[in-house]
Structure 1
Protein backbone atom coordinates (compact mmCIF):
# COMPACT_ATOMS: atom_id res chain seq x y z
CA UNK A 1 0.00 0.00 0.00
CA UNK A 2 1.32 3.44 -0.93
CA UNK A 3 1.71 5.79 2.01
CA UNK A 4 0.20 9.21 1.34
CA UNK A 5 1.89 12.45 2.42
CA UNK A 6 0.53 15.74 3.68
CA UNK A 7 2.53 18.90 4.34
CA UNK A 8 0.74 20.97 6.97
CA UNK A 9 1.13 24.57 8.08
CA UNK A 10 1.59 26.01 4.59
CA UNK A 11 1.54 29.80 4.67
CA UNK A 12 2.96 30.79 1.26
CA UNK A 13 1.94 29.99 -2.33
CA UNK A 14 5.52 29.16 -3.24
CA UNK A 15 5.68 26.53 -0.50
CA UNK A 16 2.45 24.96 -1.74
CA UNK A 17 3.93 24.77 -5.23
CA UNK A 18 7.17 23.27 -3.90
CA UNK A 19 5.16 20.59 -2.11
CA UNK A 20 3.11 19.85 -5.23
CA UNK A 21 6.21 19.58 -7.40
CA UNK A 22 7.76 17.16 -4.91
CA UNK A 23 4.71 14.93 -5.24
CA UNK A 24 2.74 15.60 -2.06
CA UNK A 25 -0.83 14.30 -1.86
CA UNK A 26 -2.22 17.07 0.36
CA UNK A 27 -1.34 20.36 1.99
CA UNK A 28 -2.79 21.89 5.15
CA UNK A 29 -3.82 25.45 5.97
CA UNK A 30 -4.15 26.33 9.66
CA UNK A 31 -7.15 28.43 10.76
CA UNK A 32 -6.31 28.62 14.47
CA UNK A 33 -5.14 32.03 15.62
CA UNK A 34 -2.83 30.94 18.47
CA UNK A 35 -0.76 28.94 15.98
CA UNK A 36 2.29 30.65 14.45
CA UNK A 37 1.28 28.91 11.20
CA UNK A 38 -2.20 30.45 11.10
CA UNK A 39 -3.18 32.02 7.78
CA UNK A 40 -5.59 34.82 7.00
CA UNK A 41 -8.43 34.21 4.57
CA UNK A 42 -6.66 36.34 2.00
CA UNK A 43 -3.46 34.31 2.28
CA UNK A 44 -5.40 31.04 2.19
CA UNK A 45 -7.09 32.14 -1.04
CA UNK A 46 -3.70 32.99 -2.55
CA UNK A 47 -2.35 29.54 -1.66
CA UNK A 48 -5.45 27.84 -3.05
CA UNK A 49 -5.22 29.75 -6.32
CA UNK A 50 -1.59 28.66 -6.77
CA UNK A 51 -2.25 24.99 -6.06
CA UNK A 52 -2.35 22.69 -9.11
CA UNK A 53 -4.89 19.94 -9.67
CA UNK A 54 -4.89 16.64 -7.78
CA UNK A 55 -3.49 18.03 -4.51
CA UNK A 56 -5.99 17.90 -1.64
CA UNK A 57 -6.47 21.26 0.08
CA UNK A 58 -7.08 20.74 3.81
CA UNK A 59 -8.26 23.24 6.42
CA UNK A 60 -7.18 22.69 10.02
CA UNK A 61 -9.36 23.95 12.89
CA UNK A 62 -9.16 23.73 16.68
CA UNK A 63 -12.45 24.01 18.58
CA UNK A 64 -13.90 26.49 16.05
CA UNK A 65 -17.41 27.83 16.15
CA UNK A 66 -19.60 26.87 13.23
CA UNK A 67 -19.55 30.38 11.76
CA UNK A 68 -15.75 30.37 11.42
CA UNK A 69 -15.74 27.11 9.47
CA UNK A 70 -18.55 28.33 7.24
CA UNK A 71 -16.78 31.65 6.66
CA UNK A 72 -13.62 29.86 5.58
CA UNK A 73 -15.57 27.49 3.32
CA UNK A 74 -17.29 30.44 1.66
CA UNK A 75 -13.91 31.84 0.59
CA UNK A 76 -11.48 28.93 0.36
CA UNK A 77 -12.17 25.80 -1.77
CA UNK A 78 -11.24 23.26 0.87
CA UNK A 79 -11.45 19.59 -0.09
CA UNK A 80 -11.02 18.23 3.44
CA UNK A 81 -11.49 19.47 7.02
CA UNK A 82 -9.14 18.54 9.85
CA UNK A 83 -10.24 18.99 13.46
CA UNK A 84 -7.63 19.08 16.22
CA UNK A 85 -9.65 20.02 19.28
CA UNK A 86 -12.45 18.53 21.33
CA UNK A 87 -15.04 18.64 18.55
CA UNK A 88 -17.86 16.11 18.57
CA UNK A 89 -18.55 13.80 15.60
CA UNK A 90 -21.82 15.66 14.97
CA UNK A 91 -20.00 18.99 14.82
CA UNK A 92 -17.40 17.66 12.39
CA UNK A 93 -20.03 16.10 10.12
CA UNK A 94 -22.25 19.14 9.60
CA UNK A 95 -20.25 20.93 6.89
CA UNK A 96 -20.80 18.50 4.00
CA UNK A 97 -17.08 17.95 3.55
CA UNK A 98 -14.93 14.94 4.20
CA UNK A 99 -13.08 15.35 7.49
CA UNK A 100 -10.36 13.79 9.61
CA UNK A 101 -9.96 13.92 13.38
CA UNK A 102 -6.67 14.41 15.18
CA UNK A 103 -6.08 12.97 18.64
CA UNK A 104 -3.24 13.28 21.13
CA UNK A 105 -1.83 9.93 22.14
CA UNK A 106 -0.56 8.78 25.51
CA UNK A 107 -1.48 5.11 25.31
CA UNK A 108 -3.09 2.54 23.03
CA UNK A 109 -6.51 3.11 24.59
CA UNK A 110 -6.52 6.69 23.27
CA UNK A 111 -6.29 5.41 19.69
CA UNK A 112 -8.81 2.62 20.19
CA UNK A 113 -11.26 5.11 21.68
CA UNK A 114 -10.57 7.46 18.78
CA UNK A 115 -11.56 4.81 16.26
CA UNK A 116 -14.77 4.17 18.19
CA UNK A 117 -15.79 7.80 18.72
CA UNK A 118 -14.82 9.24 15.32
CA UNK A 119 -15.59 6.26 13.13
CA UNK A 120 -17.43 8.53 10.68
CA UNK A 121 -14.20 10.34 9.84
CA UNK A 122 -12.23 9.79 6.65
CA UNK A 123 -9.17 9.21 8.79
CA UNK A 124 -7.78 9.34 12.33
CA UNK A 125 -4.63 11.41 12.77
CA UNK A 126 -2.49 10.36 15.74
CA UNK A 127 -0.13 12.92 17.25
CA UNK A 128 1.98 13.30 20.37
CA UNK A 129 0.23 14.31 23.58
CA UNK A 130 0.86 17.73 25.06
CA UNK A 131 -1.44 18.97 27.83
CA UNK A 132 -1.12 22.58 26.68
CA UNK A 133 -1.15 22.26 22.90
CA UNK A 134 -3.46 20.59 20.39
CA UNK A 135 -0.69 19.73 17.95
CA UNK A 136 2.40 21.06 16.24
CA UNK A 137 4.62 19.96 19.11
CA UNK A 138 7.32 18.50 16.88
CA UNK A 139 7.51 15.55 19.25
CA UNK A 140 7.04 11.89 18.44
CA UNK A 141 5.29 9.37 20.64
CA UNK A 142 5.73 5.64 21.18
CA UNK A 143 4.68 4.13 17.85
CA UNK A 144 4.46 0.66 19.38
CA UNK A 145 1.14 1.59 21.04
CA UNK A 146 -0.58 1.94 17.65
CA UNK A 147 -2.94 -1.02 17.17
CA UNK A 148 -2.92 -3.10 14.00
CA UNK A 149 -6.71 -3.08 13.81
CA UNK A 150 -7.74 0.17 12.13
CA UNK A 151 -11.41 0.57 11.18
CA UNK A 152 -10.60 3.81 9.33
CA UNK A 153 -7.34 5.03 7.76
CA UNK A 154 -4.63 6.00 10.25
CA UNK A 155 -2.47 9.07 9.63
CA UNK A 156 0.78 9.38 11.58
CA UNK A 157 2.04 12.78 12.79
CA UNK A 158 4.38 14.08 15.45
CA UNK A 159 8.11 14.73 15.13
CA UNK A 160 8.48 13.35 11.61
CA UNK A 161 11.25 14.46 9.28
CA UNK A 162 13.44 12.99 6.56
CA UNK A 163 15.61 11.17 9.10
CA UNK A 164 12.84 9.05 10.60
CA UNK A 165 9.87 8.92 8.23
CA UNK A 166 11.06 5.75 6.45
CA UNK A 167 11.44 4.02 9.81
CA UNK A 168 7.99 5.26 10.82
CA UNK A 169 6.37 3.86 7.69
CA UNK A 170 8.11 0.50 8.04
CA UNK A 171 7.02 0.19 11.68
CA UNK A 172 3.53 1.69 11.65
CA UNK A 173 2.31 1.10 8.07
CA UNK A 174 0.09 4.21 8.17
CA UNK A 175 -2.31 5.24 5.45
CA UNK A 176 -0.56 8.60 5.45
CA UNK A 177 2.06 10.72 7.18
CA UNK A 178 1.63 14.38 8.14
CA UNK A 179 4.59 16.73 8.61
CA UNK A 180 4.97 20.42 9.39
CA UNK A 181 7.97 21.44 11.48
CA UNK A 182 10.12 18.68 10.01
CA UNK A 183 10.21 20.43 6.63
CA UNK A 184 10.47 24.03 7.81
CA UNK A 185 13.31 26.41 7.13
CA UNK A 186 15.91 27.37 9.72
CA UNK A 187 17.05 30.85 10.51
CA UNK A 188 20.38 32.27 9.40
CA UNK A 189 23.59 31.16 11.14
CA UNK A 190 23.63 34.37 13.14
CA UNK A 191 20.39 33.32 14.81
CA UNK A 192 21.71 29.98 15.98
CA UNK A 193 20.96 28.88 19.51
CA UNK A 194 23.76 28.61 22.12
CA UNK A 195 23.88 24.86 21.44
CA UNK A 196 24.64 25.57 17.79
CA UNK A 197 21.33 24.46 16.32
CA UNK A 198 19.23 26.74 14.14
CA UNK A 199 15.74 27.77 15.14
CA UNK A 200 12.86 26.62 12.96
CA UNK A 201 11.02 29.38 11.09
CA UNK A 202 7.48 28.23 11.75
CA UNK A 203 5.27 28.46 8.71
CA UNK A 204 8.15 28.90 6.25
CA UNK A 205 8.85 25.65 4.43
CA UNK A 206 12.18 24.57 2.97
CA UNK A 207 11.78 23.20 -0.57
CA UNK A 208 14.88 21.00 -0.22
CA UNK A 209 13.56 19.48 3.02
CA UNK A 210 10.18 18.84 1.40
CA UNK A 211 11.86 17.07 -1.51
CA UNK A 212 14.03 15.01 0.83
CA UNK A 213 11.03 14.04 2.96
CA UNK A 214 9.03 12.93 -0.09
CA UNK A 215 12.05 11.04 -1.39
CA UNK A 216 12.24 9.05 1.84
CA UNK A 217 8.52 8.27 1.71
CA UNK A 218 8.79 7.20 -1.92
CA UNK A 219 11.79 5.01 -1.21
CA UNK A 220 9.61 2.92 1.09
CA UNK A 221 6.65 2.98 -1.28
CA UNK A 222 8.83 1.69 -4.12
CA UNK A 223 10.32 -1.19 -2.16
CA UNK A 224 7.11 -2.46 -0.51
Structure 2
Protein backbone atom coordinates (compact mmCIF):
# COMPACT_ATOMS: atom_id res chain seq x y z
CA UNK A 1 0.00 0.00 0.00
CA UNK A 2 1.34 3.42 -0.92
CA UNK A 3 2.04 5.66 2.04
CA UNK A 4 -0.04 8.80 2.43
CA UNK A 5 1.75 12.02 1.54
CA UNK A 6 2.04 14.21 4.61
CA UNK A 7 2.06 17.93 3.91
CA UNK A 8 3.98 19.80 6.60
CA UNK A 9 2.18 22.53 8.49
CA UNK A 10 3.25 25.98 7.33
CA UNK A 11 4.23 28.42 10.06
CA UNK A 12 4.26 32.21 10.31
CA UNK A 13 6.11 34.02 13.09
CA UNK A 14 4.60 37.49 13.33
CA UNK A 15 5.73 40.68 15.05
CA UNK A 16 9.48 40.27 14.61
CA UNK A 17 11.39 43.46 15.28
CA UNK A 18 15.12 42.76 15.55
CA UNK A 19 17.87 40.79 13.86
CA UNK A 20 18.31 38.21 16.63
CA UNK A 21 14.71 37.03 16.70
CA UNK A 22 14.41 37.23 12.93
CA UNK A 23 17.43 34.93 12.74
CA UNK A 24 15.78 32.59 15.25
CA UNK A 25 12.63 32.39 13.11
CA UNK A 26 14.63 31.75 9.95
CA UNK A 27 16.85 29.14 11.58
CA UNK A 28 13.78 27.36 12.97
CA UNK A 29 12.43 27.12 9.43
CA UNK A 30 9.48 29.52 9.55
CA UNK A 31 7.70 29.78 6.21
CA UNK A 32 6.67 33.40 6.73
CA UNK A 33 8.09 36.20 8.85
CA UNK A 34 5.69 38.98 9.82
CA UNK A 35 6.58 42.65 10.27
CA UNK A 36 3.98 44.84 11.97
CA UNK A 37 3.58 48.46 10.89
CA UNK A 38 0.97 49.76 13.33
CA UNK A 39 2.15 52.39 15.82
CA UNK A 40 -0.18 51.28 18.63
CA UNK A 41 1.31 47.80 18.65
CA UNK A 42 4.26 46.86 20.90
CA UNK A 43 5.52 44.99 17.83
CA UNK A 44 5.49 48.07 15.56
CA UNK A 45 8.47 48.65 13.29
CA UNK A 46 9.00 51.74 11.14
CA UNK A 47 9.13 51.10 7.41
CA UNK A 48 12.88 51.65 7.17
CA UNK A 49 13.41 49.12 9.96
CA UNK A 50 10.99 46.71 8.32
CA UNK A 51 12.88 47.13 5.06
CA UNK A 52 16.17 46.14 6.69
CA UNK A 53 14.67 43.05 8.31
CA UNK A 54 12.88 42.10 5.11
CA UNK A 55 16.13 42.26 3.18
CA UNK A 56 17.73 39.81 5.62
CA UNK A 57 14.88 37.34 5.13
CA UNK A 58 14.78 37.55 1.33
CA UNK A 59 15.03 34.10 -0.21
CA UNK A 60 14.77 32.34 3.16
CA UNK A 61 11.12 32.93 4.07
CA UNK A 62 8.16 34.77 2.63
CA UNK A 63 8.00 38.30 4.01
CA UNK A 64 4.71 39.72 5.28
CA UNK A 65 3.95 43.35 6.12
CA UNK A 66 0.99 43.74 8.48
CA UNK A 67 -1.07 46.91 8.04
CA UNK A 68 -4.26 48.06 9.74
CA UNK A 69 -6.77 49.96 7.59
CA UNK A 70 -4.03 51.54 5.45
CA UNK A 71 -4.81 54.35 3.03
CA UNK A 72 -3.46 54.15 -0.51
CA UNK A 73 -0.36 56.17 0.36
CA UNK A 74 0.64 53.91 3.24
CA UNK A 75 -0.02 50.72 1.29
CA UNK A 76 2.15 51.98 -1.58
CA UNK A 77 4.89 53.19 0.77
CA UNK A 78 4.98 49.86 2.61
CA UNK A 79 5.39 47.93 -0.63
CA UNK A 80 8.06 50.31 -1.92
CA UNK A 81 10.07 50.07 1.31
CA UNK A 82 9.62 46.47 2.37
CA UNK A 83 9.05 44.65 -0.95
CA UNK A 84 6.79 42.13 0.83
CA UNK A 85 5.73 38.81 -0.62
CA UNK A 86 2.36 39.26 1.08
CA UNK A 87 0.36 42.10 2.63
CA UNK A 88 -1.60 41.19 5.75
CA UNK A 89 -4.63 43.39 6.37
CA UNK A 90 -5.65 43.22 10.01
CA UNK A 91 -8.20 46.01 10.35
CA UNK A 92 -11.80 46.55 9.36
CA UNK A 93 -11.12 46.52 5.63
CA UNK A 94 -14.18 45.64 3.54
CA UNK A 95 -13.96 43.11 0.72
CA UNK A 96 -13.97 46.00 -1.77
CA UNK A 97 -11.09 47.65 0.09
CA UNK A 98 -9.11 44.40 0.14
CA UNK A 99 -9.56 44.11 -3.61
CA UNK A 100 -8.53 47.72 -4.10
CA UNK A 101 -5.33 47.33 -2.07
CA UNK A 102 -4.47 44.15 -3.94
CA UNK A 103 -4.95 45.95 -7.26
CA UNK A 104 -3.04 49.06 -6.14
CA UNK A 105 -0.01 47.20 -4.83
CA UNK A 106 0.11 44.23 -7.17
CA UNK A 107 0.87 42.00 -4.20
CA UNK A 108 -1.01 39.02 -2.76
CA UNK A 109 -3.14 39.91 0.23
CA UNK A 110 -4.07 37.99 3.35
CA UNK A 111 -7.15 39.20 5.23
CA UNK A 112 -7.43 38.60 8.96
CA UNK A 113 -10.93 38.01 10.30
CA UNK A 114 -11.82 38.15 13.98
CA UNK A 115 -13.71 35.07 15.16
CA UNK A 116 -15.73 34.74 18.36
CA UNK A 117 -18.83 32.80 17.28
CA UNK A 118 -19.85 30.55 14.42
CA UNK A 119 -21.73 33.50 12.91
CA UNK A 120 -18.42 35.29 12.32
CA UNK A 121 -17.55 32.70 9.67
CA UNK A 122 -20.29 34.12 7.44
CA UNK A 123 -17.83 36.78 6.24
CA UNK A 124 -15.27 34.27 5.02
CA UNK A 125 -16.71 33.64 1.55
CA UNK A 126 -16.86 37.34 0.62
CA UNK A 127 -13.26 37.89 1.65
CA UNK A 128 -12.03 34.64 0.10
CA UNK A 129 -13.29 35.94 -3.25
CA UNK A 130 -10.87 38.89 -3.15
CA UNK A 131 -7.99 37.82 -0.86
CA UNK A 132 -5.28 35.28 -1.58
CA UNK A 133 -5.39 33.84 1.93
CA UNK A 134 -7.67 34.06 4.96
CA UNK A 135 -6.38 34.28 8.54
CA UNK A 136 -8.81 33.36 11.31
CA UNK A 137 -7.83 35.15 14.52
CA UNK A 138 -9.49 35.53 17.91
CA UNK A 139 -11.74 38.59 17.88
CA UNK A 140 -10.22 41.37 19.95
CA UNK A 141 -12.02 42.42 23.15
CA UNK A 142 -14.12 45.58 22.79
CA UNK A 143 -11.65 47.61 24.88
CA UNK A 144 -8.51 46.41 23.10
CA UNK A 145 -6.34 48.86 21.18
CA UNK A 146 -4.96 45.99 19.11
CA UNK A 147 -6.88 44.07 16.44
CA UNK A 148 -4.73 40.98 17.05
CA UNK A 149 -1.76 39.72 19.04
CA UNK A 150 -3.76 39.74 22.26
CA UNK A 151 -2.86 36.19 23.27
CA UNK A 152 -6.47 35.05 23.09
CA UNK A 153 -7.87 31.95 21.40
CA UNK A 154 -11.35 31.31 20.14
CA UNK A 155 -13.27 28.08 20.50
CA UNK A 156 -11.82 25.87 17.77
CA UNK A 157 -15.04 23.84 17.77
CA UNK A 158 -16.51 26.75 15.80
CA UNK A 159 -14.58 25.48 12.79
CA UNK A 160 -15.99 21.95 12.96
CA UNK A 161 -17.35 21.03 9.53
CA UNK A 162 -16.82 24.61 8.31
CA UNK A 163 -16.08 24.97 4.60
CA UNK A 164 -12.86 26.95 4.72
CA UNK A 165 -10.97 28.10 1.63
CA UNK A 166 -7.66 26.42 0.79
CA UNK A 167 -4.75 28.00 2.60
CA UNK A 168 -6.75 29.21 5.59
CA UNK A 169 -4.42 30.11 8.46
CA UNK A 170 -5.20 29.90 12.19
CA UNK A 171 -4.07 32.40 14.81
CA UNK A 172 -5.03 33.52 18.30
CA UNK A 173 -3.58 32.25 21.57
CA UNK A 174 -1.37 29.61 19.98
CA UNK A 175 1.83 28.39 21.59
CA UNK A 176 4.09 25.35 21.50
CA UNK A 177 1.91 23.60 24.05
CA UNK A 178 -1.40 23.80 22.18
CA UNK A 179 -0.58 24.07 18.49
CA UNK A 180 -0.80 20.30 17.92
CA UNK A 181 -4.29 20.23 19.43
CA UNK A 182 -5.30 23.26 17.38
CA UNK A 183 -4.17 21.60 14.16
CA UNK A 184 -5.86 18.31 15.01
CA UNK A 185 -9.17 19.99 15.83
CA UNK A 186 -9.31 22.55 13.01
CA UNK A 187 -7.58 20.65 10.19
CA UNK A 188 -6.04 23.85 8.85
CA UNK A 189 -2.65 23.65 7.18
CA UNK A 190 -1.04 26.86 8.41
CA UNK A 191 -0.64 28.66 11.74
CA UNK A 192 0.39 32.16 12.79
CA UNK A 193 1.88 33.02 16.18
CA UNK A 194 2.96 36.23 17.85
CA UNK A 195 2.38 36.61 21.59
CA UNK A 196 2.74 32.84 22.05
CA UNK A 197 6.47 33.07 21.34
CA UNK A 198 7.14 36.10 23.53
CA UNK A 199 8.57 36.63 27.01
CA UNK A 200 6.79 40.01 27.22
CA UNK A 201 4.61 41.98 24.77
CA UNK A 202 6.76 42.63 21.72
CA UNK A 203 9.77 40.71 23.06
CA UNK A 204 10.18 37.54 21.01
CA UNK A 205 11.93 34.58 22.65
CA UNK A 206 14.24 32.56 20.34
CA UNK A 207 13.71 29.35 22.33
CA UNK A 208 9.92 29.72 22.17
CA UNK A 209 10.11 30.37 18.44
CA UNK A 210 12.12 27.19 17.89
CA UNK A 211 9.78 25.18 20.12
CA UNK A 212 6.68 26.45 18.34
CA UNK A 213 7.94 25.65 14.86
CA UNK A 214 9.06 22.19 15.99
CA UNK A 215 5.70 21.48 17.62
CA UNK A 216 3.76 22.61 14.57
CA UNK A 217 5.89 20.45 12.27
CA UNK A 218 5.66 17.41 14.54
CA UNK A 219 1.87 17.68 14.62
CA UNK A 220 1.74 16.55 10.99
Q: Distance in 1 between matches of 2:12 and 2:175?
A: 12
Unaligned ranges ≥5, structure 1: 186-199
Q: Counterpart in 2 of 1:70?
A: 76
| Partner residue of 2:43 out of 33, 37, 40 | 37
Asked if the contact 1:3/1:176 (under 8 Å) is kept, the reply is: yes
Unaligned ranges ≥5, structure 2: 1-6
- Residue 86 of structure 1, CA deviation: 1.2
Asked if the contact 2:183/2:189 (under 8 Å) is kept, the reply is: no
CA RMSD of aligned residues (A): 1.4
Asked if the contact 1:105/1:129 (under 8 Å) is kept, the reply is: yes
Asked whether 1:142 is paired with 2:142, we answer no
State the number of aligned residues: 206
TM-score with structure 1 setting the length: 0.87
Asked whether 1:155 is paired with 2:154, we answer no
Report Cα offsets for 1:127-185 as digits up to 9, x if no partner: 11122331111010100011431134211100000110011111111121000011113
TM-score with structure 2 setting the length: 0.88
Asked whether 1:210 is paired with 2:209, we answer yes
Q: Map residues 75-114 of structure 1 onto 2, 5 A cutoff.
A: 75-92=81-98, 93-94=102-103, 95-114=105-124
Asked if the contact 1:119/1:151 (under 8 Å) is kept, the reply is: no
Asked if the contact 1:13/1:51 (under 8 Å) is kept, the reply is: no
Superposition misfits of 4+ residues, deviation over 3 angstroms: none
Asked if the contact 1:115/1:124 (under 8 Å) is kept, the reply is: no
Asked if the contact 1:60/1:83 (under 8 Å) is kept, the reply is: yes
